[in-house]
Chains A and B, each alone.
Chain A
Amino acid sequence: MLAGKKVFILGERDGVPAPAIEECLKNLDTQIIYKDTACFV
């Protein structure tokens, strides 16, 4: 589904942080163009 796509990652500290999402995408043919983890508190 994400093969060949550019990916924009928004994570959340008390949910799933951005580095964890990035880790899941490592073996896929994707280009991560931006990643950030938000902290809403």
Chain B
Amino acid sequence: MTTPVVKGASFVITHTPSLVRYGSKPTREINKNKENIEHIQKGLRSFHDAVAYLPNQVFIGNERPDSLKTYERPWTNTHLSNANRFSQSGEITPEVEFYGWLKIADEFQLISLDENFLTNDVKPMLAQHPLIKESDLASLGDGVAHSQIKEKLENSSALPLYVQEDGTEKLIGLVEDGHDEDHVLSAHTMLENLSNKASGIIAMRHALQSFKVCPEDVGYVLGCDEEAVGDRYQRGGGNMAKAIASHTDCTNASGSDIKSFCCAPAHAVAIASSFVKSGFSKEVLIVGGGSLAKLGMKFAGNLAKDMPIIEDQMGAIAILVGQDDGESPKIRTDAFGKHDISAGSSTQAIYQALVSQPLQQLNKKITDIDKYAVEMHNPDVTEPNGNGNVPKGNYRIIGAMAALKGEIDKKDVPFFEDKYGMLGFSPTQGHIASAIPFLGHARDMIMNGEINNAMFIGKGSLFLGKMTTLSDGMSFLIEKNEGGHDDDGS
């Protein structure tokens, strides 16, 4: 059996300020008071501001998480002058391009874009994009007349699509229902699902282009998002993974989706590792597209503090897990942490299951791990809304456990985050923020010799679905690859 390794990880942000109005919270607040659309409009950022925002540069990999310590918060007050929209393996996508990707993802002609917008804006921009193929440009079609868009919006339940132009919204298209009587295929749900798919395609293509993996060797793709793709008879039927992979060169792959709320990516890493180790698939590609529903989730907090709305963007990830190449960090398949049904729901029980137990199996102490990645939500989003600093709270618990075990002094618990953790920088997009945002950095830092290992701890709020009061969690550990193949010692 071969040891599974992390061959690469890509991180993408799609900046879509005009879609904030279709996030769950903004939709509800606009329905209560139509004036809220104007408040939201005034709080939206330009693409330039989104690119120059430090946490976004950390997310796509251009800056290390430690750089966050060097700037005062809120980080919205800092504008990086040398910020690049592309990184070595990811990007920040502007809204105009995103509409093009949305159309490319749309195989059932549910998206209609204005012919002038398509010809003058979308196509010229996408033609310059390094991941776009001729067939993508052809699939964009010719667009439709503006009058047709207006007519359809007046006579159907289609949703209008806009772009930001000079501080106002400009109508550039629409999305239609996928079925006349099926609310699971409503225009709004189709927009959610297609946004997830489109952002997932960008992330997956980046991963396949940036790392040493042959797409034809990818035998399986695993989805780890939180969308319920399906129709009225099988809501949540799924396989977004295969839908996304059909837009890449992974022609020999099948796939399926892993569902466990936010911690699905950590489950997916465990399952991908098993597929590789068993020989079932040489390479496995994990993908998680963005969540439109979470756009503007905490917009009121940002506006109340005179900050821009930071949740004007979706995140997307793609992770390559493959056979040992002698250099990529190894995944310790003998030390996955899982939150068992019998473990209980106390915080201590959860961290016992996810951190202490797997480390005990390896005879390691908490302080033997160089970096822990927890729920990496950006505090610029959560704190103004009164939701606290999520990563800080999580690090305090791990630090307290280290103190209880006598590994660190009690007075050093507040400093655990600084030494063994990092500040939060991820878009608040559920599965996207759950430990995974550090994976690309960890891979680089381990391969550069900056750290030897890192542990990833994801948590999932199962109780939100009202099927159980249980929560969930999953953790995994990666470590330096000392070279040599197939030692079966992982």
Measured CB to CB, the residues of A under 8 A from B are: 13-20, 23, 35, 37, 39-41
Indicate whether B430 reaches chain A with its CB closer than 8 angstroms: yes
Q: Other CB < 8 Å A-B pairs besides A14-B388, A15-B347, A19-B346, 19 of them?
A: A13-B459, A14-B393, A15-B393, A16-B347, A17-B345, A17-B346, A17-B347, A18-B345, A19-B469, A37-B463, A39-B461, A39-B464, A40-B382, A40-B385, A40-B387, A41-B262, A41-B387, A41-B430, A41-B433
Kindly name the residue among A13, A14, A20 whose own CB sees the greatest number of chain B CB atoms within 10 A.
Answer: A14
Top-3 shortest CB links A-B: A39-B461, A19-B345, A40-B387
Indicate whether B97 reaches chain A with its CB closer than 8 angstroms: no
Query: Could you tell me the distance in whole angstroms from the C-beta of A17 to the nearest C-beta in chain B?
Result: 5
For the complex, give the distance between the alpha carbons of A4 and B239 in Å. Answer: 51
Indicate whether B323 reaches chain A with its CB closer than 8 angstroms: no
Indicate whether B57 reaches chain A with its CB closer than 8 angstroms: no
B471→A17 contact, CB < 8 A: yes
Per the CB 8 Å criterion, the residue count for chain B at the interface is 23
Contacts of A13 in B (CB 8 A): 459, 461, 471
A37→B388 contact, CB < 8 A: no
Measured CB to CB, the residues of B under 8 A from A are: 262, 344-347, 375, 377, 382, 385, 387-388, 390, 393-394, 428, 430, 433, 459, 461, 463-464, 469, 471
Main secondary structure of the interface of B (DSSP, over half): mixed
Query: Could you tell me the distance in whole angstroms from the C-beta of A16 to the nearest C-beta in chain B?
Result: 6
Contacts of A40 in B (CB 8 A): 382, 385, 387-388, 390
B375→A14 contact, CB < 8 A: yes
For the complex, give the distance between the alpha carbons of A20 and B394 in Å. Answer: 16
Contacts of A19 in B (CB 8 A): 344-346, 469
- Considering only CB atoms, which chain A residue lies closest to B374 in the complex? A14
Contacts of A23 in B (CB 8 A): 344, 346
Contacts of B471 in A (CB 8 A): 13, 17, 37
Query: Could you tell me the distance in whole angstroms from the C-beta of A36 to the nearest C-beta in chain B?
Result: 8
A20→B428 contact, CB < 8 A: no
For the complex, give the distance between the alpha carbons of A18 and B470 in Å. Answer: 10
Kindly name the residue among B377, B394, B461 whose own CB sees the greatest number of chain A CB atoms within 10 A.
Answer: B461
Query: Could you tell me the distance in whole angstroms from the C-beta of B9 to the nearest C-beta in chain A?
Result: 21
Cβ contacts A to B, 22 pairs, < 8 Å: A13-B459, A13-B461, A13-B471, A14-B375, A14-B390, A14-B393, A15-B393, A16-B346, A17-B346, A19-B346, A19-B469, A20-B345, A20-B346, A20-B347, A23-B344, A39-B461, A39-B463, A40-B387, A40-B390, A41-B375, A41-B377, A41-B428
Contacts of B262 in A (CB 8 A): 41
B394→A14 contact, CB < 8 A: yes
B347→A41 contact, CB < 8 A: no
Contacts of B346 in A (CB 8 A): 16-17, 19-20, 23
Query: Could you tell me the distance in whole angstroms from the C-beta of B375 to the nearest C-beta in chain A?
Result: 7
Contacts of B344 in A (CB 8 A): 19-20, 23
- Considering only CB atoms, which chain B residue lies closest to A13 in the complex? B461
Contacts of A39 in B (CB 8 A): 461, 463-464
